[in-house]
Chains A and B, each alone.
Chain A
């Protein structure tokens, strides 16, 4: 039985993806953040009591800003596929909380990739990154209709931060992911 680990399991896509993968016979593990209010509305219909044998749906407390937590979960689950859907995904809010957004969305992705590498799962675990069409916000007009990424996942809501950096020297984390993947080359943001 294949195992999938989904970050952002409590979100819209996490819920639909969990349904789809359970239907395909996967064992689905999800990471959710601790909250003082219940935050599992979208997946309550999938929940299985911990006392049930052979659970196919398991939730773990975690956070994309916590490296050791992510490493432990990836180690425990040994997933065949990781779907990184967790993010501070609201564009307007990314302008209000840019540092948190960059930490959860950009560095969070790095943490998962590092977890795969450090745990020796590079050959086993496939990684899906929920990128965004908003990255085309850095492009003008017709260029938005393109097939290939112009920036790494880190272009996401970090566009505003990247613009503040020296364009000749993209941060290490961005180059890191670009080097992991030959198909995506870093592209300098337009000046101004």
Chain B
């Protein structure tokens, strides 16, 4: 039987599930910049992940099934980034510069400068909720996709900067629609999970 495993490291996109940390962050950055949300609660900011763009990764899946023999492949960018840095990039995309203060469960992100009318310098926009700490945290995830490059001719085309930009722009559009509805007198509700 021709069967193979694609061992894909984290891959994200504007249509990533809303409960995954990257999307949770890009949604919150968009909402906070529009004044639709006050604060984002996160778990372990020190967790490092190897984030790629899902569009690149599905191409690798297809390539894996076009080989003469089935083999397993690791698909990854090879670059690892802390959750904290992802937050910084996402908020920067909406014109908000963050400074992280404190440590562990007391760490907070405070606004240093803001181009958004809804966000004021000094405002606390990220805090830690220990309930989001994982029972079995993987502190570091980084993949080596050398084999995929050599045998499949696959490389990640999107950078993390492009990914964050795509995700935040898409979430801004989404929540601008909500803002429009809210201003038009319609009730909008937060989704909690």
Q: Which A residues are closer than 8 A to B by beta carbons?
A: 11-13, 15-17, 20-21, 24, 41-42, 81, 83, 89-92, 95, 113, 116-117, 122, 125-137, 141, 144-149, 152-153, 159-160, 177, 180-181, 183-184
Contacts and interface: CB of A to CB of B under 8 A. Distances in A.
Interface of B: 1-11, 13, 15-17, 19-20, 50, 54-55, 57-59, 61-62, 64-65, 70-72, 74, 76, 132, 134-136, 138, 140-144, 146-147
B144 A133 contact: no
A81 to B, nearest CB: 5
A83 B7 CA distance: 13
B141 A131 contact: no
Smallest CB-CB A-B distances: 4 pairs: A127-B3, A131-B5, A17-B58, A126-B2
13 contacts: A12-B11, A12-B54, A16-B54, A16-B55, A20-B58, A92-B134, A113-B1, A129-B4, A133-B8, A133-B74, A133-B141, A146-B144, A160-B136
B17 A12 contact: yes
Contacts of A180: 1, 3
A83 B63 CA distance: 12
Interface-central residue, A89, A113, A122, A127, by most chain B CB under 10 Å: A127
A153 B142 CA distance: 19
A131 B2 contact: no
Contact of A91 (B7, B9, B134): B134
A148 B4 CA distance: 11
A147 B70 contact: no
B18 to A, nearest CB: 11
Contacts of B4: 127-129, 181
Given A183-B72, A184-B72, 10 more contacts: A11-B17, A13-B54, A21-B62, A81-B65, A130-B6, A133-B50, A137-B136, A145-B144, A149-B5, A181-B4
Contacts of B142: 144-145
Given A91-B134, A131-B7, A133-B143, A17 B61 contact: yes
Nearest to A92: B134
Contacts of B19: 90
Contacts of A184: 5, 72
Contacts of A131: 5-8, 72
Contacts of B140: 141, 144
Nearest to B43: A92
Nearest to A15: B15
Given A12-B54, A146-B144, A20 B1 contact: no
